[in-house]
Amino acid sequence: MRNAATFRRSTALVGGSLALLLLAGCNEGGSDFDISSQIGPDPVLPAPQAALLPDLKVAPVIGWTEGQTPSVPDGLTVSAYASDLAHPRTVHTLPNGDVLVVQGQGPSGKPVERPKDLIRGFIMTIAQGGGGEQRESNLITLLQDTDRDGVVDNRSDLLTGLASPFGVAWIDDTLYVATTEAIVAYPYRLGETEITAEPEVVTPLPGGPINHHWTKDLALSPDGERLYVSVGSNSNIAERGMEAEKGRAAIWEVDRATGASRVFASGLRNPNGLTFHPETGTLFTVVNERDELGPNLVPDYMTSVQDGGFYGWPWSYYGDHVDDRVHPPRPDMVERAIKPDYALSSHVAALGMTFTMGSAMPDAYANGAFVGEHGSWNRGNFNGYKVIYIPFENGTPSGMAEDVVTGFLDGDDTRGRPVGLAIDGTGALLVADDAGNTVWRVAAADGSVTPEPIGTDRVGAGPADAAAAPAAVPATEDTAATDAGTNPAAADSEAAATADQEAPASPAAADASTAADTATPPQTEIAPATLPESGTQ
Amino acid sequence: MEFTRFPYTFLQAGLVFMASSHSLPVAIGGPPLYAGVVPFATVPFILVLVSDIVYWRTSNLFWQHASEWLLLAASVMGGIAIALFLLEALFRRSIRPLLPGWSAAVLFGAAYAVGIVNNFVHARDGWTGVVFLGLGLSIATVVLLVLSALARRAPVYRRELGALHA
């Protein structure tokens, strides 16, 4: 039987290569990898790994029992500022010291395009805290501490039934809310405990039906004229196609008088925690980087954001580290990619940050930023699930990050997961804990309080024009080549005055300078398709 | 009872199976049921290769997703075919002479195993889920399926020599 012999041989061959393949699929999980080597300006980036099954460890949410709190180091105390919330994601302090708690849950009805989408949805519900009765989310709650003793005296739900809100900003008796599909504006005077007016749409944002990274964070420019809104990518690495990524993985700049918008910076996979540095007026963000390249790739990061800056997604990470899963490759975009400022280590899922300057925190935390790390799922060992402090010097991060609020994890379960951060009206740190349905207040143990409340959006702080003018210059090397007349910074100053113009000069001019960077711009830099028919006021 | 190399349709096989299942493990008549299911795994495995090649040449995401769903379908039907085969090999003594030789069975099992692995490779995000590891595994699956089909010819050949009546 010559045939049988041949079959036997080929069977052995196939079996052997199959075993090899399975071996190649198994990896060590990098348990001996030094995570601290990925914290700081120059993270160690190991070679990408492609496991047969992506590393996966999801912490089921067990919640907090009465009296239980996260842990803080000596010199700090922690207490529950508000509990029984419904998935709190963002905390925002108004100029009078009142605190807004934005509670939101992602939109449902994402289309199932691949078998993987079914499995992924199931895994994510575990990490959201699926057990038990859930209050209806998607609302904004006002917390008032009128006697400034660190305890909430009055609580009222300002807005309910919103479309997955995340970011908020307040100025000129107007409350801006970034829902997952638009920036909307409500007339709201400080101190009021209800909003009855109908909202006006300032500008639509890229929303469903996919809406993968749905959180739209919001920050107000130090001069109070413009809004900055983060729009996360619609996928991990553009595997849903570039058509789905138009205007995404970007931070938009929105003129709040007209709603006119443009892409301010792009290539930022999932930016959140938009915050202006109180002294330099530079915009900072924390960004969640890509998955499925192994447990120690790619580190999430905190970075300053340059006008017109491109940060790599999807074609590369950390500057010129090409992601070969993205096809076709774009060497021209990889060349443009800016390396971010400060790595936070892989899969920590940083979603919120706040600067500490002017707060009542102890000296050890006087000049830097707190960052909230929601916690990992795409690695065998948990990473994140804590709030860290990053010291700053001369407006840039300098030195090693240290843990501040920990104790969210309990073995393989988690009690809560930190998201958004803010300094409250007394100068203490607030931590929104979405899975734990709580806002935690972390204060100096000696009871220090700031003399006056400082709002989250520090309008007037820092050099007023720092955000717009100087940032515009280093980002676009080719700006000079376009010509002086279309300088975006120059055009910007006129934008507010031209509220009735259909297409204000500022965005148009700025887009021209961005396009000049490359003959074929990335689809993520495409400006919004629609402008509102009229201004908000 | 006459042995036919043309597999019964899934429906016919299913009816026979339902009618006869209460009498297991007593030997009953009829063709091997698993054989009716095998094409429902084989055909999608072959279509996966086709859609992989189209995706490689066009970068159109539709074909990547088509491959993923076809792989899922092939994996489910292949699993049913293998389970039926094992049950019949164990409990239907009368049809044992009609079962393929071990080489055909092992080759089909190997094709199925590669196909299962290919599900996970195709589930990876982006281009490299298909080009070239996924595409390579699709080729390997089809090659093994062809070898398995060739191996299945052996019993027929042997029967003509009278081996079946031994």
* Residue of A17, A114, A245 to mutate when probing chain B, most B C-beta within 10 A: A114
Summarised one tens digit per residue, pLDDT across range A91-148 is 999 999 999 999 999 998 889 999 998 887 777 777 665 555 578 999 999 999 999 9
Name residues whose C-beta falls within 8 Å of residue A113's C-beta, 6 or more positions apart in sequence: A240, B65
Quick one: tokens of A376? 């990992």
| Fold designation for A38-525 | Neuraminidase (2.120.10)
Measure CB to CB from residue B103 to each of A8, A15, A327 and give the nearest one. A8
- Strand partners for A403: A388
Answer whether 0.90 is exceeded by the pTM: no
Instruction: Report CA Rg, chain B.
Output: 18
Quick one: tokens of A185? 């504006």
CA distance to partner chain B, nearest, from residue A307 (Å): 29
pLDDT on residue A20: 42
pLDDT on residue A492: 42
Collect all residues of chain B within an 8 Å Cβ-Cβ radius of residue A25. Answer: 117, 120
Instruction: Report CA Rg, chain A.
Output: 24
- The answer to whether B129 contacts chain A (CB < 8 Å) is yes
Percentage above 90 pLDDT, chain B: 61
Measure CB to CB from residue A115 to each of B68, B113, B125 and give the nearest one. B68
Collect all residues of chain B within an 8 Å Cβ-Cβ radius of residue A21. Answer: 117
The CA angle A392-A395-A400, to the nearest 5 degrees, is 20
Quick one: tokens of A147? 């006697």
Residue B20 predicted with pLDDT over 50: no
- Report the chain A residue with the minimal C-alpha distance to residue B129: A325
pLDDT on residue A461: 64
Provide mean pLDDT across the span B71-80.
Answer: 97
Collect all residues of chain B within an 8 Å Cβ-Cβ radius of residue A11. Answer: 103, 106-107, 110
End-to-end CA distance of chain A: 89
Report residue A329 CA to chain centroid gap: 26
Collect all residues of chain A within an 8 Å Cβ-Cβ radius of residue B147. Answer: 7, 10
The DSSP call for residue A65 is: P
The per-residue DSSP string of A190-210 comes to TT-----SPPEEEEE---TTT
The DSSP call for residue A262 is: E
* Residue of A2, A21, A291, A316 to mutate when probing chain B, most B C-beta within 10 A: A21
H/E element, B142 = helix B133-160
pLDDT on residue A3: 45
CA distance to partner chain A, nearest, from residue B68 (Å): 7
Measure CB to CB from residue A10 to each of B119, B147, B154 and give the nearest one. B147
Among A402, A406, A427, smallest CA distance to A417 is for: A406
Place of tokens 């931070």: A251
pLDDT on residue A527: 65
Q: What ipTM describes this predicted complex?
A: 0.80
Summarised one tens digit per residue, pLDDT across range B92-111 is 888 888 788 889 999 999 99
- Report the chain A residue with the minimal C-alpha distance to residue B71: A115
Quick one: tokens of B157? 């050949």
Collect all residues of chain A within an 8 Å Cβ-Cβ radius of residue B131. Answer: 327
H/E element, A390 = strand A386-393
Which residue positions in chain A have pLDDT lower than 70?
1-31, 127-133, 461-519, 527-537
